[in-house]
Structure 1
Amino acid sequence: MNRLGTVIGFTFKNKVRTKSFVITTLLLALLMTIGIHVPFFIQLFTGGDDAAGNKIGIADGGQTEITQQIEEYVSALPDNEIEFVALQGADTAALNAEAKEQELKGYLTIAPSEGGAFPAVEFVSESGSVPADVQAVLQPALESAKTRFITAGALSDDQIAQLTTPVRLGATSYDQSAGTETPPTDGPESDKFNPMNFITVYVLMTLFFFSAMLTGNMIASEVTSEKSSRVMEILITSVSPLTQMFGKVIGVFLVGLLQIGVFGVTIAINLMLPHNRNVLAGFDLDFSQMPLDVLGYGLIFYILGYFLYALLYAAVGSIVSRTEDLGQAVTPLTMLSLAAFYIGIFSLNSTNSLLMKISSFVPFTSPTTMIARIGLGEIAFWEILLSLVLLIASIFFFGWLSAKIYRTGVLMYGKRPSMKELRKAMKAYKI
């Protein structure tokens, strides 16, 4: 156990101190910082709408009733932050000057039209466009005012409200519509398609993919480099190959956790900045609604999936004598991780499909597809448990197989051995 801890500590310190790790971590953290600030930069360079607050002017042109209807509709909306200001300018130049003086986000002009038609409405701003949050509020308000204008008292307020409320199209299956299917009671909730669930699932799937690729290649390249430089021959005299393999896998795993921690802190600090909180508020994201069950299952599948791939990468790295041949040797594992990622990503809108159900029980793809089913689909607890059992069983089996390959491969030099040659070597070494 002491030797295992020594190998873990040596691997961790050796990787963390390398220039490639430091530069890659800082560069990715910088890219994340820039990415989080993109909405703020866009808002900053499109006219400084944020500095204008939420005040909007109205130049009604004598259409007082329509102006009152728009204000009443908007004020009745939940979490409304828009404040209307009456403008008194006689012409366009005066209205523009008044809007700039009061630092308005923009103003509405309501120009009467001939023939009894609904007046023409235009939004005037410095950028010449309607902000998305303003558009989402003003559009239904104008539709409601137009309906009242056309009906001219023929409909009640409740009828107008029903007329202007968008129709929501639901979805259900044949069995559910007939009342023959009982939703799972032991597993996660079925109605989970909300922004926070989607973001959590997407981040966990992406995290697993990049971890499997980066840390797996890191393990394989370290084993191969030690073998090609003949350092391996010295190491196996003091530490057994099995201890080396598991020490490297756990050490690199800790390196990956450190890198994830750095990224997490970077994201948290940037999101807590005042200007970013104001910008992100427009996306209607509530981080207090973070799905803890999805996050918990995701971390479990992430850790188990990592060890499954890491052990295989270590075994492949042990049978390669030159670093130039490593890329070709790990191609099958790269294809497996790509398949797991793409099946999950392209099936986020159909998590209950047959492909997703089958993939969630395949150990090489379950770390991504099962998370998608838990977070965005309908799944029973026994399915999650079965997938975990199969994944753990696969880790033990491939860990045993990787250990046998590793103990043999680190002593074989020259061209990459075939599976037949590996079996012969295992018998010769009585492994």
Structure 2
Amino acid sequence: MNKFWVILSHTYLSKLKSKSFIISTLVTTLLIIGLTNIQSIIEIFSKEEEKVIAVLDEDNSVLPLLEKQLTLTPNSNIQLEEVNNESDAEEKVTEGEYDGLLVISTDQEGLPAGLYKASSITDSDTMMQVEVMLQQVKNELATSQLGLTQEQISQLFTPISFDIVALEESAKTAEELNQARGLVYVLLFVIYFSVILYASMIATEVAVEKSSRVMEILISSASPIMHMFGKILGIALLSLTQLGFWIIIGYFSLSRNVEGISSAGGVFEYFGVGDLPVATFVYAGIFFLLGYFLYATFAAFLGSLVSRIEEIQQMIMPMTLLIVAGFMISMFGLGNPDNSFIQITSFIPFFAPMIMFLRVGMLNLPFWEIGLAIGILVATILLLAVFGAKVYRGGVLMYGKTSSLKDIKKALQLTKEK
């Protein structure tokens, strides 16, 4: 057992001290700090000069109403300037004196229409603001022509009352469902990227040791199962260290830069998931760990078949495709988790970590379904571990160019000969 802990600690410490791990951790940390401070960053760069828009009002009746709408638009950086000559205004737009030219005309009913001209039409925000304000002016003129009172206009534009009620007693409310959908969406990304990142790390670790011929010594001193799971658990501990560090950095960065995050409800209350049951977060951890061990075991014996680091990505491509397929199916299931296709795929082992968690988070499932999915995952991991250990033992002794997954058969034959 001491050999197992030596392998685990060596894997953990060697990767923890590696330059690639330190650099990737620091880069991601800077990205997290940037995202959690995005509001402050946007405010710094949003302090731009006002957008000066030249306005040519053919009837001289719309511009005053447009200026009125501008005063009612919060945080607008648009300034309107009346012009009388279209060609001169166009020339000033091309020279950069004006950011755009709005030509206002009226139809037979006296309602406005706009033609916006600019050197480039890439500034969609400014164009949208101008269009919205002009639309408001048109609505105001149209309703006044119809003789509607302000009270009637208010009723006309009041959103319809549309409530949604689930008839099943155990069904989630619309608010709970939206909260669950947001949380599941985020956690699915965490599961997806974590599994891809750390499973690939295991395959690379095995291939590096194998290419340096260190593997032959290690296998002779420790059983293949002990060595394989020492690698898997070492990388698992590394992943928890890295993810935990990022979570702490993200939390404290949010606490310092976002109002309300440090209130009694904390980060969960701020993002609107404070009312979700604790079981949802527990299942997130369970399916994350099961998904990790499933794909990590898969990656370990695939990595044992590779003699050169350059061949790793080609060898683990089938595993990567399975992860991507599970993620894409789960993205589809966010809109309809009750779909029969989603129900079936949630019991397929390589898809279950993401899809069953999706259903657990968004639906009130009977416990036997959750237990069955977890049982299938655990059984698959054990079977994959036994099979993978056999492949691992022979695979680490295979050298030369790796052709395909057919090398698994060759690895099994080498295991029987030992």
TM-score in same-fold range (> 0.5)? yes
Structure 1's 190 and 333: CA in aligned 2 closer, same or farther, altered over 3 A? farther
Structure 1 unaligned segments of length 5 or more: list them: 49-112, 114-119, 177-181
**Structure 2 counterpart SS, 1:412:** coil
Give 1:414 shift: 1.9
Give 1:396 shift: 0.9
8 Å CA contact retained: 2:208, 2:309: yes
Distance (whole Å) between structure 2 residues aligned to residue 40 and residue 289 of structure 1: 28
Give 1:241 shift: 2.0
1:369 equivalent in alignment to 2:355 = yes
1:404 equivalent in alignment to 2:393 = no
Aligned-residue sequence identity (percent) comes to 35
Give 1:170 shift: 2.6
1:304 corresponds to which of 290, 299, 303: 290
8 Å CA contact retained: 2:5, 2:230: yes
1:222 equivalent in alignment to 2:171 = no
Distance (whole Å) between structure 1 residues aligned to residue 233 and residue 354 of structure 2: 21
Could you tell which deviates more after superposition, 121-130 or 341-350? 121-130
Distance (whole Å) between structure 1 residues aligned to residue 278 and residue 301 of structure 2: 35
8 Å CA contact retained: 1:4, 1:243: yes
2:411 matched to which residue of 1? 422
**Structure 1 counterpart SS, 2:335:** coil
Give the TM-score normalised by structure 1: 0.68
Distance (whole Å) between structure 1 residues aligned to residue 282 and residue 75 of structure 2: 47
Could you tell which deviates more after superposition, 196-205 or 330-339? 196-205
1:235 matched to which residue of 2? 218
Alignment of 1:25-424 (within 5 A): 25-47=25-47, 122-123=71-72, 127-128=76-77, 164=158, 166-170=160-164, 189=172, 193-273=176-256, 275-277=257-259, 285-286=271-272, 288-416=274-402, 418-424=407-413
**Structure 1 counterpart SS, 2:72:** strand
Give 1:193 shift: 4.5
Distance (whole Å) between structure 1 residues aligned to residue 23 and residue 181 of structure 2: 31
Give 1:206 shift: 1.1
Give 1:298 shift: 0.7
**Structure 1 counterpart SS, 2:349:** coil
The amino acid of 1:224's aligned partner reads: A
8 Å CA contact retained: 2:179, 2:276: yes
Distance (whole Å) between structure 2 residues aligned to residue 124 and residue 215 of structure 1: 49
Deviations 1:328-366 (A, max 9, x none): 110000101111111112321111112211111111111
1:3 equivalent in alignment to 2:6 = no
**Structure 2 counterpart SS, 1:346:** helix
Structure 1's 321 and 38: CA in aligned 2 closer, same or farther, altered over 3 A? same
Deviations 1:12-35 (A, max 9, x none): 000000010011011011111111
Structure 1's 277 and 423: CA in aligned 2 closer, same or farther, altered over 3 A? same
8 Å CA contact retained: 1:11, 1:248: yes
The amino acid of 1:276's aligned partner reads: V
Structure 1's 400 and 279: CA in aligned 2 closer, same or farther, altered over 3 A? closer
Distance (whole Å) between structure 2 residues aligned to residue 254 and residue 382 of structure 1: 30
8 Å CA contact retained: 1:351, 1:376: yes
Paired residues, number: 332
User: Which gives a bigger RCO, structure 1 or 2 (Cα 8 Å, sep 6+)?
Assistant: 1
8 Å CA contact retained: 2:8, 2:234: yes
8 Å CA contact retained: 1:190, 1:378: no
Structure 1's 213 and 126: CA in aligned 2 closer, same or farther, altered over 3 A? closer
Distance (whole Å) between structure 2 residues aligned to residue 391 and residue 303 of structure 1: 11
The amino acid of 1:356's aligned partner reads: I
Distance (whole Å) between structure 2 residues aligned to residue 280 and residue 348 of structure 1: 30
Give the TM-score normalised by structure 2: 0.70
Structure 2 unaligned segments of length 5 or more: list them: 49-60, 62-67, 79-124, 126-131, 264-268
Give 1:427 shift: 3.1
Distance (whole Å) between structure 2 residues aligned to residue 220 and residue 24 of structure 1: 18
Structure 1's 312 and 124: CA in aligned 2 closer, same or farther, altered over 3 A? closer
8 Å CA contact retained: 1:319, 1:409: yes
2:104 matched to which residue of 1? none
Distance (whole Å) between structure 2 residues aligned to residue 419 and residue 285 of structure 1: 47
1:99 matched to which residue of 2? none
Could you tell which deviates more after superposition, 195-204 or 255-264? 195-204
Distance (whole Å) between structure 1 residues aligned to residue 25 and residue 184 of structure 2: 23
Structure 1's 39 and 236: CA in aligned 2 closer, same or farther, altered over 3 A? same
